[in-house]
Structure 1
Amino acid sequence: MAVAAYAALLSLKHDFDNIQHPVRRHRLHVDTDRIQSWQEKVEFLLEFLEVHSQSKSQEIEDLARQIAVVAVEADDVIDRHVVDQLCEGSQDESHDLAALSSFCQDIDKIIEKIDGITQDLMMIKEKWGDNVQEKNSAVSVPVSSRTLPSGGNDTMVGFEEGLLQIMDVLTSDESNLQILPIVGMGGIGKTTLARNVFNNPYIINRFDILTWITISQEYSMKEILLGLLNDGSIKERAEIEELEALLYQRLFGRKYLIVMDDIWSIKVWDDLKKFFPDNRNGSRIMMTTRLTNVAVSLGTLEPYSMDFLDYDKSWNLLCEKVFGEKSCPYPELEGIGKDIAKGCKGLPLALVVIGGLLANSNMQREYWVSIARNVNSFANSQDNEHCLKILLLSYNNLSIHLKLCFLYMRAFPEDHEINVSKLIKSWIAQGFIKPVRGKSLDEVAKKYLKDLVDRNMILIHKWTRRGKMKTCSIHDLLRDLCLKEFERENLFSVSKVEHIELSGKFKNYVCCLCSHPYPKERIHLQAVLVGSRSAPSSPLVCEACRVMHPNLIRLRWVKVINHVHGFSGENFPQHTRLRCLTIKASREGQGDWAEAKFVFPCTISLLWNLQILVLDLEYSYSHPLVLPFEIWEMPQLMRLSVGGFSLRDPHMHQLEITLENLSVLSTRTFKCSEEVIKRMPNLKKLRSSYSNGLVKDSHYSLCNLAQLNKLASLYLEHYSLSEGIAFPTSLEKLTLSRCSIPWEEMTIIGSSLPNLEVLELKHPTFQGAEWNLVEEEFLRLRVLSISGCKLVSWRVESNHFPKLERLFLEDMHDLKEIPSSIGDIATLVSIHLDTCGNSVLHSAMQMLNEQVDYGNEFELLINGEDIYSLILGEGKDMGWWNPDDDDH
């Protein structure tokens, strides 16, 4: 329940931050002293949960449950009073005083309850001191000598190459003490691999001392030292200082191999490293850990990272566990068995657990079929908790803020590849990200994601061209764990249903919990939720989610609204809980846009929690759409994606409100006035499109753009760079789509943007067909993409793009060739070509031939096909390909 309490307190903290913003104080009647006192108490409870969330104390668990209930109640109090005041506005003095008095009374009741909980917490701290967690956790440290790893039968299937690679490292000629970490998620086979290395006769004969010790999460330094010494004559009553001296003396001058299994923190190594002498005789220390950051910090060698088994190796391991051989002697079971192996998703732990069940099944086909239908349930069943316990170690090691974000992964379907940007947006919209001074919520959320990736709880599938995380996923067994822990933590008790009522019909129906498509014929189930009395009906919930979560009463975020007709302020959603609103609207039928009364309501500012606003709709430049002035009264906005709308200039008589949280803006005909620029000082990503008739208007000049000194990504469409532009030096990515670009402007871009890593030119209009680069241009550019360009001659030297890694060319029919000097760039790893002329293809093939001859890793993709792999797969010589041959 601690995670649920933490989530509720975080939501409350966000409310406090919103209330105390100057624009809110201007419109609300609140007692700032009471709010400040309230906020301090909430901060105390947050800190307590962060420190003691892993406590096994029933007292702490009971208090966490009370915290969750009170925090939800407090959230409702704030929302009710704020909404009433925002909707009614300031009236006569007596009415305003009555509203303030009512608010204060409700606050005092909540504070009284929080004070009671705080007193109970202080009594616990006084009773146990600062060791609440330790007082309720048994310290268990399995340690061992050389003999333990030889016990048991750890089948080594699929990691033979890794075994040889690690043995080569351990027995290399390097005389200095070296530390080799093995890293990977729980159950991926780290210990098995290390054990097979440790027990290999070749390794045994190369070292004087071999010792294996398992550290685990909770450890005793004395127990570790006794395990490393492995000397029965040493009494357990010996002092730690004596044990430390004995260990150093035993290892000094001898060639040793120490295996430290299951390392969870850097601290244990910091405590031990001074007792391992560097004898300069080839001694080695091998460690296993689930944490990438620990592996990188501890190792003197690059960590050996373990990956999932492929399909064939998974099948071989399953057969070895079931039949004792790498094949299936029962033809009638082979097809089902291969489906089971595939369902384990390459995780050795799952294969071993399932293999044990199948081995004892008397080879009954019906039983095999039942397992194939739900591999995860059998692997994590209560009757066979080995798998679940191993994965729980990783979950229990997470800080409470990471647990909260990890548990949200249950919202995505099994085997779903998740867009990282969508995940980050979801965490923020749910209120799961704790504000950090000096950092945006987006930055903090990305740090959370990186921490979960480093702990091998979340897997990265794809990377962007800039080397940033693009899509991710979670292993099925971890998702199953996620579902169990989500229910155990009772997180639904702190999520509130907020229905968005819009006129017009919905085109698409999706479950508001799992996002699965919802059959139109089943929409009568839409009122299954309780606690949404403010709306005539509740969000759609699929039958599976209804059964799984019968006690659901609150959900904080409705993600997508598909709206057909225009709307006005009368039917705009007035539900102020909303943190993220996405409206996909289109106009049915044909007709003049002037007839479409599409009005964006000024009541948008009443959505005082709204952080993300996305309007995805058809628009016409001949009939522009404009956002209301009130958009400038929403300081909590972080992302504003309104491509069909333009921003009004801020009212000069308005409060000078700064949208300090706004980091992403997508709009039409962005006016780069000083007044606008100073109101969005932390903008990091800007996208704007223009019409050809507007770019000559001085009001739309981008000469002030350089003042956005935190801007990292810029996308411009239909803009003429000759009309004046000043790029900020902070730019890392620049995309110019259908822009008019003088060649001298390209020189300015290449020489004045020292941080530029990605340049995309989409259907540009160049003044001339020849591009001649000069010295000191594009010194940090890693990705260059050009498409639909009339470029004919391109003159490049290898020192012009010294860090170029990837080149993308599309629809380049006029280009004579790719300059040969491009192939001489040492960092180049791939060229991607799509619908280019034969001369371009021919020059790319020549580069591929040269790279292969040099033994370099190089990727050439033509129309999506990996040419090198295609050639090798057909067993052909590299010189076979002729781009002028119609057969190719």
Structure 2
Amino acid sequence: MNFNCTDRWMRADAKLKSLIPTIQQLYLSELDLPKDQQSPIFYQLFNALIRGAELLKKCENISPFNPYLRYRYALQILRLEQEIQGFMDLMPAHILLDSRKLKQELQDYYQELQPADMSSMLKESIFKQASLLTSDPASPDSMLLQQMCLDDSCENEGFNHSVHGIIPEKSQFYVGLEKPIRDLNMLLFQKEVSVVGLHCIGGGGKTTLALALCNDDDIKGYFQNVVFVTVSQSSNVKGLIETMWDKIIGVKRPEFQNVEDARMQLQQQLLCQSKSTLVILDGVCSRSILGKLLFEGRGYKTLITTRDISIIPQNSCTRLYQLPLLGQRDAQSLFCFWGFGQTSIPTNADASLVNEVQTGCKGLPLALKVIGSSLNGEPRAAWETAKKKLCQGEPISDYHKDGLLRCLETSISFLDDVARECFLDLGAFPEDKRICADALLHIWVYVRKLEWQEAFTILWELASRNLFNLTSNSRSAAAISYENASELYFSQHDVMRDLAIYLASQDHIINRKRLFMPRKEQTLPGKWELLNERPFDAQIVSIHTGPMHESEWFEMNFQETQALVILFAASEFHLPPFIKSMKKLKFLMVCNHSSKRATIEGLEVLSSLPHLRSVRLERLVAPNLQKQSNALHNLEKLSLSLCEGFGSASTFDYPKLHDFNMDHCSDLEELPPNICYMPSAHMWSITNCHQVHKLPYDLGNLSSLRVLRLSALPDLKELPPSIGNLGELEYLDISVCEALKELPEEIGQLKKLTELDMRECSRLKRLPISGCGLISLKHVICDKEIKTQWLWAKKISIPELRIEIVEAQFRSDWIDD
């Protein structure tokens, strides 16, 4: 901490501690009064000051090299200052002056913790640059989050940071791939070879090499079709075969009865065609799964990536390629890219120390990337600590449990306690899956008790350290600004998930704060059943199974559970009856990973959850959810993605909802009228529901709405006039509403509207005259056909308006299944 910051901290700490005894005396004196005359004000203020003293103690040792922690503590200082402000009107006159002085010291300290460059990065760059991410996490050109540390003009024995923002051209930096690509090409081009196994330990770069191979010119010249399929530990085999059919055969697939039927029909099609095809099966870990995904055909070849060499078939048509770890030169280039933002050791760094840390990564690409990112911008002491820990670690063995995990544990040792707990929560979600970031953020908000903005800062910090990947579509930034990350997605490397599960599983299974199933199983683990009569301490529970009927669940006692993640792959699924024991449950996610929507039963257990605040349902048929609305009267956030069963909903009563998202609900035509009775809603999103042709007349009853997203509703013909009653609306998205011909005159009443996205509204040719009344409008995204009218409005009455013209583009979020 610099001198000024330390000085301000000491003054704020002194003021705070001088107030505590006085407030404590007043609080104790209140206890002498009759109960009906006691006021809770001094007790509440006393607790706030105690929390403030603890916070300032934590702030004392903030590193200037950790901008995320400084920003998070700044937010907490600001909340403390605002809390004290709330008490000031009720304070006796003799302590009011001291309180005002404390409030001013906290304000000064907040400003010191969050200088102008910090605010610029974490308030503007985080929100705005999120839109630079692509929507395809599997793409080798995906813009993954990068080093986001600041140059605070601080130096520490030669280690100062000079990388700003996101590295511009490519977030990935590939080294050491030229020879492996040539070697694989030689194997794949051999006429007698039909299967090539690519093997190395976890984190060795198999997926990176396979993705690079997809873009290799020689491969694209030799094969007419190159298909990349991710196969994880928890894969739905029938769904994988359906994906292969879609990408290889290219015609509408039939309804497969089961895995064997799907396999037989795809094999028949492959024998009838002669298109040269390379299928890459990435991350295969089971011989039985692999056996169901291998096919024959003229010109058909398969590349398998795996960490388990024993699953590769041994015959005359198969070749095995062992991917070597990186040599010294390539390892140094990769490490320096993530550690310094350049491909060599900076002149002002201690080359010997850098080389020792890099050598400790054993040439393993994942370790070089993650550990390099974790040390980006850190002082010399952090590098010395990393060197010591890496030197004490075991050599990386064939399997990563003892070697690689201990190596990678170094990468999270620089996280503070809160961020480390957040990292461990990642084990609740499967590897190599695209998961909505809102799900993770809601766990941190409701279980970790973080404010949303602080939780989002941690999300960004973990991504910047490459502990997981973040991707987004181009329109997420506006929603993120309003505390919604429904269009931001994360995915994690299987080894990083293994690390999270390994670290979260150190206690006895009964006492763990997190109870995770590492991979999909047909039923719950047998060890759980052996202990099912004892209460579990788990705050977060993650279950991953196949189809489950009511009779297949056994009773379990989860009295402490606050977050439950249920993942499955089936056409029918019954929620576990033991959910009713989760009286503290606040967050529930039910996600079906099969290719078709699943009928969900057992929703009535939700009626026994008085504290449930956030529900996320994906790829389900859940027609009875609306019947639970009376029981879910405290629900604040509801997200429905790829769900059916709401098209015939006659009631939809959730009066306390703040955030409502409905995406790709294919049978939805009209919204029930009372869906607009959400007086607390500030975020309302109906997107990619292709049959919606009409909105409720009473849309204007959503009086607290700040964000309204009505995107990709191609049959929507008009906006109701009552939209003019949305006096708090700041962001409106009507993009890709192709049937929309005009905007109602009442839209001019939206005096707080600052951003309007109306791209790809091809029939919308005219603006209403009232559009000139949108005096707060700062940004419009539109097609070039309507640009002239917005230029006229800018000239007449909206001088600060920025008009952004975009071209029509195909987006994957139109794809339903």
Which TM-score applies when normalising by structure 2? 0.42
TM-score scaled by length of structure 1: 0.39
Structure number with bigger Rg:
1
